[in-house]
């Protein structure tokens, strides 16, 4: 019989936010709260304050580590939102979240530097730049405020643009190479701007500037993104690549999202942006335990009253 060897698993770089460290043993769950009426998933439209506040309270109760607040739909459909309107939607609400949940890490989903600057006084922990540095000043706002920064990949598309006839060339791995190179360059710029490396997140940004085949391929190569040496964010929840793969509408994509989440976590991603906090938290904790990074909450099965696990918790 061949000698058994442990699986070779990617070792993710830790993320440090608000005095907490997130790593393979404790991946971070980022709850999504959209202050919009037109988000693609109807279950996460919280334009009014009461609905948004309930959503945050529920996310915290279900195990969220971060909350990501956005005021504009990412896709090209939907209403036009000015910077002033975006500020009005997100800044007072972020201030409420900071007061109500002082230990919760706050993330702002925006591509506009003026919106992040207006939110700086609430104590932002992360600026989620979904549109890959479209506003070159945004990373500098994050650095000045001491916030972390998300580096994304959109295939060069401007904000609120859906991909059409998207190609990266005949090589099937060209999209992976483009993602890795773009994220490496963006992370280096963030560090040069003054963002601490342990607060730079790289996000392959599935669906954005990608076909479903592209997103599946990039997900399969999550370990190559992890190898860049920065914590990796995967925003998978209920996205179109999940829906098209399984031929399901947004409100029926939970199981597919969790399956893709488990794959990404196994391959070393650290942070997961999700509409479904409790389910994602449980899936990530199980993957972390299977990987050997997290101890089970209980390990009693098959043990007598005086027994201890022979091989330890991990």
145: confidence class by pLDDT, cuts 50, 70, 90: very high
The single residue listed with the structure tokens 């392959």 is 204
Non-local (6+) Cβ contacts of 13 within 8 A are: 23, 198, 226, 229, 230, 231, 270
Evaluate whether residue 300 is within a structural domain: no
The CATH number linked to 179 is 3.20.20.20
Evaluate whether residue 279 is within a structural domain: yes
Confidence (pLDDT) at 243? 98
Confidence (pLDDT) at 310? 55
Evaluate whether residue 164 is within a structural domain: yes
The count of domains in the chain is 1
Evaluate whether residue 103 is within a structural domain: yes
Q: Determine the average pLDDT of the residues in 269-274.
A: 97
Residue ranges in 196-294 assigned as alpha helix (H): 212-220, 222-226, 240-246, 254-266, 277-291
State the residue range of the domain holding 105: 21-291
Among 28-32, 38-42, 101-105, 282-286, which is the least confidently predicted range? 38-42
**Residue 202, strand partner residues:** 151, 232
Closest to 270 measured CA to CA, from 44, 17, 74: 17
Average pLDDT value for the chain: 93
Evaluate whether residue 158 is within a structural domain: yes
The single residue listed with the structure tokens 């990501």 is 68
Question: What is the pTM (predicted TM-score) of this model?
Answer: 0.93
Note the pLDDT tens digit of each residue in 159-194: 988 888 899 989 999 999 999 999 999 999 999 999
Evaluate whether residue 46 is within a structural domain: yes
Confidence (pLDDT) at 40? 76
237: confidence class by pLDDT, cuts 50, 70, 90: very high
Evaluate whether residue 6 is within a structural domain: no
Cα gap 3→303, rounded to integer Å: 28
pLDDT of residue 41 exceeding 80: no
Evaluate whether residue 102 is within a structural domain: yes
């Amino acid at each position: 019989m061949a000698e058994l060897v442990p699986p070779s698993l990617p070792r993710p770089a830790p993320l440090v936010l608000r005095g907490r460290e997130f790593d393979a043993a404790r991946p971070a769950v980022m709850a999504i709260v959209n202050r919009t009426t037109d988000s693609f998933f109807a279950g996460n439209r919280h334009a009014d304050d009461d609905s948004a506040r309930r959503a945050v309270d529920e996310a915290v109760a279900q195990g969220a580590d971060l909350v990501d607040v956005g005021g504009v739909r990412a896709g090209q459909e939907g209403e036009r939102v000015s910077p002033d309107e975006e500020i009005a939607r997100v800044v007072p609400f972020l201030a409420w979240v900071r007061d109500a949940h002082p230990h919760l890490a706050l993330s702002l989903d925006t591509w506009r530097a003026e919106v992040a600057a207006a939110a700086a006084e609430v104590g932002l922990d992360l600026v989620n730049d979904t549109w890959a540095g479209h506003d070159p000043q945004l990373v500098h706002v994050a650095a000045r405020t001491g916030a972390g920064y998300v580096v994304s990949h959109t295939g060069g598309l401007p904000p609120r643009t859906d991909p059409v006839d998207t190609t990266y060339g005949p090589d099937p791995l060209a999209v992976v190479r483009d993602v890795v190179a773009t994220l490496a360059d963006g992370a280096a710029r963030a560090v040069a701007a003054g963002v601490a490396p342990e607060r730079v997140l790289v996000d392959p940004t599935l669906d954005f500037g990608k076909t479903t085949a592209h997103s599946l391929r990039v997900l399969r190569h999550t370990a190559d993104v992890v190898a860049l040496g920065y914590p990796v964010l995967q925003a998978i929840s209920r996205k179109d690549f999940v829906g098209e793969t399984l031929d399901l509408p947004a409100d029926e994509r939970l199981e597919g999202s969790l399956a893709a989440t488990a794959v990404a976590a196994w391959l070393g991603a650290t942070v997961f942006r999700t509409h479904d906090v409790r389910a994602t938290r449980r899936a990530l904790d199980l993957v972390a335990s299977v990987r050997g990074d997290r101890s089970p909450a209980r390990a009693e099965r098959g043990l007598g009253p005086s027994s201890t696990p022979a091989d330890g918790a991990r």
